[in-house]
Each structure stands twice: as C-alpha cells, then as structure tokens.
Amino acid sequence: MQNLNFTGTQINYYFVCHRKLWLFTKDIRFEDENEYVQLGRLIDENTYKRNKKQIEIGKIKIDFIDNNGVIHEIKKSNKIEKAHIHQVKYYILTLKRMGVENITGEIDYPKLKKRETVLLTPEDEKEFEKIFSDIREILDKPKPPAIIKKTICKKCAYFEFCFA
C-alpha cells in the first residue's frame, strides 16, 4: 500500500486532464483568475453556511463533515462527476487509513438541487493503488503531457495556456 501523498485536487485532475494535473502540481496555476473557478468558490462559500467548516487533514481539504459523520464535497456542476466521486472516495480512503471507520461521503450540487452518495469499496481501494502509480508516473515526466482536446477545455483555467 502506498502513502496518501496527494491532494483531493490532484486526484480530481487525474480524471479530468493529465496535463492539468502536471501543471497544477508544478505550481503553474491559473485558477484564481478563472471565472468558472471563482463561481465554484462562491457557491462553496455561500452554501451550507451553518454546517460549513472546512477540515484540513494532511493534504486533503474536506468541505465539511455533517453531524452523522458524512463527508460533504460541494460542487458547481456534475459534468465531471467521475472526478468528483473519486475525490470523495480518496477522502474516505485517507480517513480509513487513519483508523476512522464507517465513513461515507456525499457530493452536493446545490445549483442542480442534487446529492450523490459516495461509498468506498474494496475494489476502489485496489483501483487507487493503480491511480497513485499513474499519478507518480505523470508527475515524474520532465514535460507536461500532450494536449488532449476535450469539450470541457473551453471552461478550463488552463485553456489559454494550452491553446494560445
């Protein structure tokens, strides 16, 4: 079993774009100026204010944990839901390896009025070993991975950097 040395954002970016993952990890960041990222932060800051207490544990930042011990991650859109699900599963795995039992997660999409329950299975734990290995391989490269144009690129904080 490998150490959990990644952030939730890195796990998310692994599923979104390997190039974005590499750039972000090398501290080449454009998120602060991106209107879509700013909108996401605004939704995050203004939703569930009563429950909202961001929790930092090692390299992960959980939006909040409710009174039932459920991890909550707040997202603007479900367009990259697979990435969101794996990010929450990574949080659950991190807590499990720290000895916390029976943790579940939920992804809250306030604009969509939707909530997605997230569970970690033994198969997921095995999959994460491959994910960790893949991420290390990507990050060990001297240059960023090639551009793979996707429909989500247009709204990406790195769009101008990649396509200018």
Q: What is the pLDDT of residues 83-137, one digit of tens each?
A: 999 999 999 999 999 999 999 999 999 889 999 999 999 999 999 999 999 999 9
Please tell me the chain's helix, strand, coil percentages from 3-state DSSP, rounded to the nearest 5: 50, 15, 35
- Which of 37-46, 74-83, 119-128 is predicted least confidently? 37-46
- Percentage of the chain lying above the pLDDT 90 cut: 67
Residue with tokens 């960023």: 144
Residue 1 lies in a domain: no
- Predicted TM-score of the model (pTM): 0.86
Residue 119 lies in a domain: yes
Q: Residue 23 and residue 3: Cα distance in Å, rounded?
A: 22
Please state the domain count of the chain: 1
Q: In which domain, by residue range, is 51 found? A: 8-163
CATH code of the domain covering residue 17: 3.90.320.10
Residue 2 lies in a domain: no
Residue 3 lies in a domain: no
DSSP assignment letter at 155: G
Average pLDDT (41-53) is 58
- Quick one: tokens of 75? 């997202």
Strand bridging mode 70-74 / 104-109: parallel
Q: Residue 28 and residue 23: Cα distance in Å, rounded?
A: 5
